[in-house]
Structure 1
Amino acid sequence: MVESEDEAEAACAVVLTPPLSLEGGLAAELRPANLAQRVLSLFLNVRPGSDLSHFQLPATFNLPKSQLQLYGEGVYCAGEDLLGRCARGRDSLERLACVVAWSISTTRPPIFGFAPYNPVLGETHHVSTTSGCGGGLNVLLEQVSHRPPVTALHATDARGEVRLVWCQSPAPRFHGASVEAAVRGARELRLLRHAETYVIGCPGLLIRLFPSPACEWSGDVRVVCAESGLEAQLSYCRTRRSFLGFGGGDARCVRGRIFRSAEPGDTLCEIDGFWDRQVTRRDLATGEVSVLYDAQRAIGDLATPVVQDRKVGWI
């Protein structure tokens, strides 16, 4: 039997799923019934304190994409060119603020009860874009270790101004009423034209099982540039303290400050807002308040990538 050209093309078509975004996207497609009850049933035989790095998750709880793709989408799926803005900053303070804004943009809305597929050792995810930072990005990810699971990423822009290098390993642990997934390792953002390297941390993911199921980013993040001597500290937290998991206000709050590493007590700018709305920066010297990050523009209703070259899968 001879297949037609259309049938052959359909058989090898690249199927892409929507990225995680504020509105619609993948979250709108994944709404099974009794999800909280199904999630709780997974941990009936798991002891508090257990390491979940090798926990076998049933396929019904997996997102239709791997951890590599999820990491990669945080780099190449964005509504505005925040990476390019880092390279265009007029001075070291503005560039650090832009790097902070970009790091916040990689914080995407998690979906309770779902996790990406674990990549196999040696698995890769390669995407080349024709738009965005510096006229396009070339992003390559590889699973370089299975136990513990470690993912490496390398990305460059078309103009040769920005380079991303990072190596990360999630470390989930069960605590009875919650699962905390710390992200070990660091991300490096190198602005080659300015000879600056920014070392960026990552918040942890907190999955609350009791009293009400929820999924939120939490923890402290540092952004450090040794060349400029500037540093930022961010805290992903709730607006109020919770009592036994009850209350606590909004869980998507981001607060922090920018200061000189040599003078940690001398704050240059204060950062405050919500990573799913707006984050502002207040210059303490002038009192000026400006929008540091606008989530609606950066990750609001992101479109599914479109494959332009089906032979190599470029988007």
Structure 2
Amino acid sequence: CEQCVAAFAVSAVASQWERTGKPFNPLLGETYELIRDDLGFRLLSEQVSHHPPISAFYAEGLNNDFVFHGSIYPKLKFWGKSVEAEPKGTMTLELLEHNEAYTWTNPTCCVHNIIVGKLWIEQYGNVEITNHKTGEKCVLSFKPCGLFGKELHKVEGYIQDKSKKKLCALYGKWTECLYSVDPATFEAYKKNDKKNTEEKKSSKQ
């Protein structure tokens, strides 16, 4: 179940990949309501603060199977040619049938080339998803792009129990897909990949 929640949390930022248009700027007190009978949920959101801009939302399954709520409070930083949005709000997902509650915060989002050039977005930072019933955690690392773009869109991490024993590894790209694999297999792959990279560097020198 933790793997599915991790995939859900990652999917929430996946939709931002090509969202480079002018952001929606609701007025204080403005609300938005959505009911999707075909998908089995309804949602209500409201702009609860203007300075700083904070949006709150509440969604629930029409079959009383889940509740999803939280707040979105992006703390903006301007770096000349880019703007960084550090999220401050907490997401909470309650799976009512399992009596489980999960919380997490989203990674930092950065929009590049805001002055000139083609806009592009990257996400980076750690996301920690906590299962408050079992104490299990999923710790995901969204990789920054780097100089040559090798780490662009990459995300990887582990699901661990309350004693921090690794139960499974997750990896992939937040724009494409997420895979689950045995931790030992994943660590062996990373070790081998690091070795091959170092060998390539030494052969070029």
TM-score range for the pair, normalised by the shorter chain length:
0.7 to 0.9
Aligned residue in 2 for 1:252: 153
Q: State the shift of 1:180 in Å.
A: 0.9
Aligned residue in 1 for 2:38: 131
Q: TM-score, normalised by structure 1?
A: 0.54
Contact 1:139–1:153 (CA under 8 A) maintained in structure 2: yes
Contiguous gaps of at least 5 residues in structure 1: 1-94, 289-315
Label 1:160 to 1:113 Cα distance change in 2 as closer, same or farther (>3 A): closer
Distance 1:237 1:284 in 2: 19
Aligned residue in 1 for 2:167: 268
Query: Which residue, 178, 181, 203 being the options, matches 1:282?
Result: 181
Instruction: Give the letter aligned to residue 228 of structure 1.
Output: T
Identity of aligned residues (%): 29
Matches within 5 A, 1:1-315: 95-107=1-13, 108-111=15-18, 113-132=20-39, 136-209=40-113, 213-238=119-144, 242=146, 246-261=147-162, 263-264=163-164, 266-284=165-183
SS at match of 1:176: coil
How many pairs are equivalent? 183
Could you list the per-position Cα deviations for residues 32-66 of structure 1 after superposition, in whole angstroms to 9, with x for gaps in the alignment? xxxxxxxxxxxxxxxxxxxxxxxxxxxxxxxxxxx
Contiguous gaps of at least 5 residues in structure 2: 187-205
Contact 1:112–1:207 (CA under 8 A) maintained in structure 2: no
Distance 1:112 1:106 in 2: 13
Label 1:179 to 1:125 Cα distance change in 2 as closer, same or farther (>3 A): same
Which structure is larger by alpha-carbon Rg, 1 or 2?
1
Q: State the shift of 1:253 in Å.
A: 0.7
Q: TM-score, normalised by structure 2?
A: 0.81
Q: State the shift of 1:158 in Å.
A: 1.0
Instruction: Give the letter aligned to residue 251 of structure 1.
Output: L
SS at match of 2:171: strand
Task: Provide the aligned C-alpha RMSD in A.
Answer: 2.2
Distance 2:16 2:34 in 1: 22
Task: Give the structure with the larger strand fraction.
Answer: 2
Instruction: Give the letter aligned to residue 172 of structure 2.
Output: G
Q: State the shift of 1:181 in Å.
A: 0.5
Instruction: Give the letter aligned to residue 101 of structure 1.
Output: A
Instruction: Give the letter aligned to residue 226 of structure 1.
Output: H
